[in-house]
Structure formats: structure tokens, C-alpha cells
Amino acid sequence: MSHPDPDAATAPTGLPLPAEWRASGVLDVRALDLDWADVGLPPATLIAYDVEAFGVSAFARHGIDMPGSIERSVKKRQAEFFMGRLAAGYAPHTLSAPPVGAALAAKGASDPPTRMKQIPIGPSRQPVWPAGTVGSITHAGRYAAAVATSAANITGIGIDIECRIGPETRQSVEDTVLNPAEKALLHALSGDLPYEMLLTIAFSAKESFFKGSFATVGTYFNFDAVDIKALDIPGGTLQIVLNRSLAAGLPEGKALTLRTQCIDADTVLTSFVW
């Protein structure tokens, strides 16, 4: 389990981050194991950042295109987009060189590793990966993460970071995301984790499933398309079942496994690979 230090300015190797990374608001960057080694998924690239230290000059500094919709956005949204694309550019599969920490060690702390080409926004606001690559980008709070791998043996990947759902939004999230059986399941597990964190995991898991399946399904669908049937907190897994057919490979009744982990005490990351 990864716990980025908000005061750290080190890469996974322990080397100082390049000055241009620090100038862009990056506090920490490291590999995060998503526990999908059985399907050959590499670690995600996880960035911790300070939105107040971020400025739009970071786009030009790192050679990342800033779409017009992002240019017109508030600073927080600009930082989210930039950090997600920065993480995606250095996700292990997108490099011909080693992952970011090893690249820093090889090239020296003053020189950032080579970054992949641009990752545009698709018509449904999804990241458009290079041909032959599948991946996912996520951001919430002070974190952004991305993972990518070859499409040869994996159909889709979805990852999602969420901050703990607070009391002010708990009811609306419950009503939108959970059915009565799922709510009862989470309440039965609330001795293992606070209910709000379990609700956050459930919400995040359904978001990860949507992200990982959207390219195949090709259309939006609601949270009730899947039911959460089991959640193993110590094992870090969730079991879901499809309530309706979404695509040829996602028929009604199909059972699927997702994974979950905590990044810190108030932030979770879930992942779906198929």
C-alpha cells in the first residue's frame, strides 16, 4: 500500500524530483501496485501534488497540450487534467524506457525521463490512448494516477480515486449508487471500516467498472447496471454481477472481480481489468 508524503519531493528511487516537476506543483511520484499481476498489468503511476503550487505554465514546461475546454476551466480543473496527463505520460507501458523512478536514476535527477506523445480527449471526454494500448486516468483530492498496458491480452482497464464521502453528500450518493441490498451489505461490514469509507469504495468501484468497460459498451449506463455482491476488506476485492447485458463480452449475470486499496486514511483507489 502506497502512502505519499505530502512534504516529500522525491521520486520512487529516493532521488530529488527534477526542478521542473517541483515547479509544476508535483510533491511525489511513485509506482503503485494495483495487484493485477495475474494478468500482467504494470503498476500505476501515482502523483501527489499541491494545486496551489500549480500554474498553467506547467503545460508548456512539460510539452502537454492544453485543450480549449481546460484553458477556460478553473485552476483546480487545470491541475487535475495536467497531473493526470503527466502520470499517463510516464505510466510504465507508455515508455520505451524503464518506469519513471528507474529513468530518473539512469538519467540523473535534473533530467526528466522521456514522455510519450499526447493523450487527447475523446468525444465522450475519455482519454484517447495510442493504438494497441489500453489505459485509465483518475484524479481526486491531491492525487492523480494513470495506468496503461498492451491491448493484446486486456480488453479494458478502469481506475478511480475517490476521497471519503462526507455526511453532507452521503444520502445523495446512497440514493444514486446503491440499491437496498448493497446498502445492507455495506452496513453489515461497517465494523471493519467506517460506513462512509465503504460507501466511497462502492461508488469508486462502479466508476472503475464504467471506465474500464465504456470503450466496449460505447454508451453511458447507470450505476444500477451492476450489483455489488461481496466486499472483502482484508483481501482488497469486490465482486459484482451485471444486471443487464452491456456488450457481447459483458452479458447479464456475468460476475466480475474488482480490487480496492487505500492511498491514505481518507482516499481510496479501485481498479477493474478484463
pLDDT in tens, 76-97: 999 999 999 999 988 766 544 3
What is each CA distance from 58 to 30, 75, 81, 245, in whole angstroms? 19, 12, 11, 43
pLDDT at 90: 83
Residue 36 has pLDDT above 70, yes or no: yes
The three-class DSSP label of residue 46 is: strand
pLDDT at 18: 87
d(CA 71, CA 67): 6
pLDDT at 192: 81
pLDDT at 191: 87
Would you state the cell numbers that stand for residue 113, as one nine-digit string? 525521463
Cα dihedral sign, 179-180-181-187:
positive
144 shares a domain with 31: yes
250 shares a domain with 141: no
Weakest mean pLDDT among 5-9, 18-22, 244-248: 5-9
d(CA 147, CA 135): 5
Would you state the cell numbers that stand for residue 259, as one nine-digit string? 480490487
pTM, two decimals, is 0.88
182 shares a domain with 85: no
Proportion of the chain in helix, strand, coil states, percent, rounded to 5: 35, 25, 40
pLDDT at 15: 56
146 shares a domain with 166: no
pLDDT at 156: 97
- Find the domain containing 182 and state its range: 162-273
The answer to whether residue 4 is domain-embedded is: no
pLDDT tens digits for range 188-231: 999 889 999 999 999 999 999 999 999 999 999 999 999 999 99
The answer to whether residue 265 is domain-embedded is: yes
